[in-house]
Chains A and B, each alone.
Chain A
Amino acid sequence: MSRHLAIVPAYNEAGAIAATIADIHANTDFDVVVVDDGSTDATAAVADAAGAAVLRHPFNLGIGGAVQSGYLYALDNGYEVAVQVDGDGQHDARHIPELLHHLRSHANLNMVTGSRFVDREGAGYQSSGTRRIGIRLFAWILSRVTGRRITDPTSGFRMVDRRGIELFARDYPHDYPEVEAVLLLHFHKLEGAELPVLMRARTSGVSSINAHRSIYYMIKVLLAIFVGLLRARPVVEAGDRAAVAAEHSI
């Protein structure tokens, strides 16, 4: 068994999931776990046939819950490194070895994120215009808060070490996880860095954020950032009470 795991959250991605898994297997030695977040199509069956471990949610939890299931799986099965790869084929698995090399060669780093906006020859897919303004804004705010340069806070293409796995398995933001996870990492004093990657436009399915809802999304993420700043984020260790605790009494 490999010590490395690729977490692929998927919601109705039967059309692209097999290619995504094959891409990961062809370019890396990573095990693949697909988190089928209550899909109504054949996502789970296709992923299983493609040789991935499949976690199935009984209903749709949203991207945050799906990704956290992947981290719980990584924690339970003792993986040392986990990388998130979107199920829709946007993330090019050829970059995974680069991310891994960068994480391994910098002992202080806990997370490496693939960024579309760190300079790299050939632009690749960089999202639509209105969305880029939003991403710029989040990037600016988060850079100010964390004190390190963040160019692509909405990138879901990120690799974490064991400490990152432990943190995310325990506490992972619910609603806008990509942006909030950057804050979470910062408040737990883990180090992150960005690496340039090229992303592809999605091959099938529909993005969870439609173009016409971009502005709405932007406002909600901004609110989430500020709520995230207010939120008490003590360095939670195993056995501590979670922020919203699953208590035994009703």
Chain B
Amino acid sequence: METKIQIVAIVVTGGLFATVFELVRRRALMERYALLWMFSSVLLLGLAVWRSLLETVSRAVGIYYAPSALFVIAFGFVLVMLLHFSLATSRLADQNKVLAQRIGLLQQQIEKLEAGERGNGVADLSDRRERTPAR
């Protein structure tokens, strides 16, 4: 019974580790996310293989069924990841807003400058484009 669940745990965490490793190798994961994922998958795989350590840890926190300690640890990592992503999206959304606002302000300035040039009788970009001979 114990061996069965251990085999399942090793297969799952091993699969996770292999996937993360392959993604890092292909540069699909940025370093900062890769580190967190590598660390968590290595730790989970280590605990799945090294049963006595998992049993020590689970006894220390009062979990009687050792494999569920593995799930508790995995759940902890998932929570940390999710919080991390919420932070990342908050920051991205804010940066996105600042960019959109700046683009709006810059576009207005460019249009004002172009209109000013046209008013002063200086050729603006569109005029210049028209004057280049057609091929």
Contacts and interface: CB of A to CB of B under 8 A. Distances in A.
Given A53-B108, A54-B108, A73-B108, A65 B101 contact: yes
B28 interface: no
Interface string A135-169: 00000000000000000000000000000000000
Interface in A11-59: 35, 53-59
Interface in A57-73: 57-59, 61, 65, 68-69, 72-73
Contact of A73 (B30, B94, B103, B105): B105
Interface in B42-101: 90-91, 94-95, 97-98, 100-101
A149 B67 CA distance: 59
B58 to A, nearest CB: 36
A239 to B, nearest CB: 16
A232 interface: no
A244 interface: yes
A245 interface: yes
Interface residues of A, number: 22
A246 B104 contact: no
Contact of A59 (B32, B95, B100, B105): B100
B19 interface: no
B91 A68 contact: no
A174 B97 CA distance: 10
B100 A58 contact: yes
A35 B107 CA distance: 12
A59 B97 CA distance: 10
A76 interface: yes
Q: Which of B91, B98, B100, B112 has the most CB of A within 10 A?
A: B100
Task: Please name the 7 residue pairs, one residue from A and one from B, whose CB atoms are nearest each other, closest first.
Answer: A55-B104, A246-B95, A69-B101, A244-B94, A57-B100, A65-B97, A57-B104
8 contacts: A35-B104, A59-B100, A69-B105, A73-B108, A244-B91, A246-B94, A246-B95, A247-B91
Interface of A: 35, 53-59, 61, 65, 68-69, 72-73, 76, 174, 242, 244-247, 250
Given A68-B101, A250-B32, 16 more contacts: A53-B112, A55-B104, A55-B107, A55-B108, A56-B104, A56-B108, A58-B100, A61-B100, A61-B101, A69-B101, A69-B104, A72-B101, A174-B97, A244-B90, A245-B94, A246-B95
